[in-house]
Amino acid sequence: MAELADEVQYVPHHLKKIVLVFSAMRHFAGELQMSGHSVYYQRFDPDAPIRSFSDAVADHCERHQIDRIVVTRPGEWRVFDEFARMEKALGIPVEILEDDRFVSTPEEFAEWAAGRKTLRMEYFYRLMRKRTGLLMEGHGEPEGGQWNFDADNRKKWKGCPESASPMSFSPDEITREVFDLVTSHIDGFGELDGFDFGVTRAQARRALAHFVRTGLPWFGDYQDALPDDQDYLFHSRLSAYLNIGLLDPLEVCQAVERAWRDGEVPLNAAEGYIRQIIGWREFIRGIYWLKMPDYADENYLGGDQALPQWYWSGETRMRCLQRAIENTRENAYAHHIQRLMVTGNFALLLGVRPREICEWYLAVYADAYEWVELPNTLGMVMFGDGGLLASKPYAASGKYIQRMGDHCANCRYAVAERTGENACPFNSLYWNFLMRNEKVLGDNPRMRMIYRNVERLEPAEKAAITKRANWIRDNVDTL
């Protein structure tokens, strides 16, 4: 096991993400040693000649009589490719095993995808439900008579019931040692103060039980809500533990299902949460391994704008973006609607270069690894793959944000206005986005009603929208 400079530095990772990974590694190494295993562990040294996985493995092979290398499939293509080339470089056989911390495999997904005109999560999710038996009744039918209860999960939270927070953990001596290391030697994004992630499997399991008891009952109803004064509301923050292997996806889903069967949570909450894990998480990973490495370079809508500098600082007067980025800086976390419909939606409407926004998402969240981040950002957020992953762009004006929360009441900009210097920037960018992309989006069946609204705009209104949108693009760092 090795703490490597190249892995720390290839994007400016959130400092809490680095502490989480290094501390979890050190705790796991200690557990392995206590159970009798020999563990070769290299601690982070910014000046060490060993900087990459290849360096670490090559050095180990030189020191020991190694005749075979066995590795689990990495979570990022660049590392997979690195190990695939290692056999030739070292002259030692390299066997890459499947990662068993997922329900499906890339091969199974490729078989499911073969010959399909469109790839939609909903149908793959149904396959996973049948495979696992989660929330299924007899004769292959879903509990409650339907597969998806998403229509019930879009309520605006008005302060009741009282919000829940993820379980917090106090840093132990090992984690505090990692703090000192990161503070002294690593530059990254965000704030390190207030680190409260679990770093062991036992802590992650406690966090799961806490969420099922306190957050899950209301998760379904309010999973899309955007309250101005809440960082977590009823979200779990378990994805960081899932994505480094401290929790198993079936273990999580089975705990959620038990809570429903015991009458502790409603079906829409249990189904909505399970869908995110065995549906969306597995589907996203399948897309990644099916389409990489060329997928990373796609830019269907031709985005050419630089990412605004305030994505890193949070220094913007747009309240929804300021709060989402502030949450990200403080917690290495933001929930899926903040990512998709606030920071993501603005980048889409602005026309940001997909690679830049993808690198930002990869850097700033504790749960972000390329297998999950890239398809979500490139495909879901930016529609950069032309509809492979999503059936339409998730573009929205300020009205969506107003409907789902109360950011707009605390914002310097007026959500009711489309043009003018006080108008919400989302509004003119939204209508201009539709006009700019009409040739490629106008025939999309899910966009026809929207484009009928575009057709109703008067020429003068279109001109004013275009003028305001162009000004925003030229002056975006001042917003």
Kindly state whether residue 137 falls inside one of the protein's structural domains: yes
442, 466, 471, 399 alpha-carbon torsion, rounded to 10°: -70
Q: Are residues 244 and 388 in the same domain?
A: no
Closest CA to 78 of 279, 370, 442, 280: 370
Q: Which two tokens stand for residue 140?
A: 């292959």
Q: Are residues 321 and 410 in the same domain?
A: yes
Q: Are residues 382 and 452 in the same domain?
A: yes
Q: Are residues 316 and 282 in the same domain?
A: no
Q: Are residues 237 and 359 in the same domain?
A: no
| Number of domains comprising the chain | 2
Instruction: Express each pLDDT in 458-469 by its tens digit.
Output: 999 999 999 999
Alpha helices in 215-344 (DSSP H): 216-222, 239-243, 249-261, 267-274, 282-291, 310-313, 319-331, 336-337
CB of 336 within 8 A of CB of 305?
no
Q: Are residues 233 and 376 in the same domain?
A: no
Q: Are residues 131 and 274 in the same domain?
A: yes
Positions in the chain whose pLDDT score sits under 70: none
| Domain CATH for 265 | 1.25.40.80
What predicted TM-score, i.e. pTM, was given to this entire model? Answer: 0.94
Q: CA 164, CA 159: separation in Å to the nearest integer?
A: 11
Q: Are residues 360 and 241 in the same domain?
A: no
Q: Are residues 254 and 370 in the same domain?
A: no
Domain of residue 229, residue span = 106-164+215-290
Q: CA 279, CA 282: separation in Å to the nearest integer?
A: 6
Q: CA 445, CA 452: separation in Å to the nearest integer?
A: 12
User: Euclidean distance between the first and final Cα of the chain, in Å?
Assistant: 45
Kindly state whether residue 116 falls inside one of the protein's structural domains: yes
Question: In the listed set 290, 321, 354, which residue is the last one of a domain according to the structure?
Answer: 290
Q: Tell me, what's the pLDDT at 268?
A: 93
Q: Are residues 352 and 285 in the same domain?
A: no
Q: Tell me, what's the pLDDT at 366?
A: 97
| Domain CATH for 440 | 1.10.579.10
Question: In the listed set 240, 260, 290, which residue is the last one of a domain according to the structure?
Answer: 290
Q: Are residues 128 and 222 in the same domain?
A: yes
Instruction: Express each pLDDT in 233-281 by its tens digit.
Output: 999 999 999 999 999 999 999 999 999 999 999 999 999 999 999 999 9
Query: Phi first, then psi: what are they for 169, rounded to 5°?
Result: -130, 140
Closest CA to 244 of 458, 417, 24: 24
Q: Are residues 453 and 423 in the same domain?
A: yes
